Amino acid sequence: MNTKKKTLNLVLTALFTAIIVLMAFSPLGYIPLGVINATIIHIPVIIGAIFLGPGTGAFLGFVFGLTSFIKSTVTPSTVSAFVFSPVLAASQFGISGVFKSAFICFVPRILVGVFPYYIFVLIKKLSSGNGSKVKIAVLDAIISLIAFAGLSQLLGRQMKSGSVVLAVVISAAIFAALMIISVRNDSGVIGYAYAGLTGALTNTLLVMPSIYILYAEAYAKATNVAQNALLGVIIGIIGFNGVIEAVLAAVIVSAVSGALVHVTPTYAVRKASKNLRQPA
């Protein structure tokens, strides 16, 4: 790698790190959607993974986790802040709390910077060659069905009637959006969208179940939820917040990456180019 490329990588790493810190400690990291605030702090981590590789993506994910740790420890906004703070957990649960909270705080966020890169590469391969449109359409349908399952579970708990219809409408909208992206026949855009989905879902699907497995009783008590109802609450958060954050991530990652690729190629392209230059 020449000096110019190394410098650009360092600049981008520093830029993404600064954006993560800024978003974590300001309202910029959240989008208010009425009853919830959807987090978008993971988006710089995902984009960093696409353009700088899974190694740098893991580092950016660690920074994301570190900001959660600092914020939860120094300025805890809820009584359940111990979930993301090994320091607070240690004072309440001893040494076991340190390991539990460290896992929840750091491991999912580090993986947010790893999984999207490999999904991006996979989608690029699936969206090229014979039958690519069929493969992507099937994948779009699977994602939409998963969204329907999550939404129907959540809405069924909140609405006496019409929950299935609303879940169908939202899931159909997600499928339509994915298909619109897919029919453009741009493997890069499709890859960006699925990388965004993967990163957001990695965060949600690892953090919330980990809280339930490691801190069910303590978390239920801290949030004033009956322990036997906690699983339903967790599923609801995954089904509602998770879907919304995944869709937002898909849209924003696609838009930003589509612009950034004109400045620097993705890590996968640079890696392939480097391999081609190596003698057999």
Q: What are 108-159's pLDDT values in tens digits?
A: 999 999 999 999 998 888 777 666 667 777 777 877 787 777 667 666 655 5
51 residue type, one letter? F
**Looking at residue 181, what is its pLDDT?**
67
- Per the structure, the count of domains in the chain is 1
Beta strands in 74-232 (DSSP E): none
Using 70 as the pLDDT threshold, list the residues of the chain that sit under it.
1, 32-37, 129-133, 150-151, 153-163, 181-188, 272-280
16 residue type, one letter? F
**Looking at residue 198, what is its pLDDT?**
93
| Distance of alpha carbon 162 from alpha carbon 169, whole angstroms | 11
User: What is the extent of the structural domain holding 157?
Assistant: 3-277
**Looking at residue 280, what is its pLDDT?**
43
**Looking at residue 35, what is its pLDDT?**
47
Report pTM: 0.84
- List the structure tokens of 29: 């990291």
**Looking at residue 222, what is its pLDDT?**
87
| Distance of alpha carbon 118 from alpha carbon 26, whole angstroms | 30
CATH number of 272's domain: 1.10.1760.20
| Distance of alpha carbon 88 from alpha carbon 102, whole angstroms | 11
**Looking at residue 14, what is its pLDDT?**
97
Closest to 89 in 3D by CA, of 110, 80, 66 = 80
**Looking at residue 161, what is its pLDDT?**
63
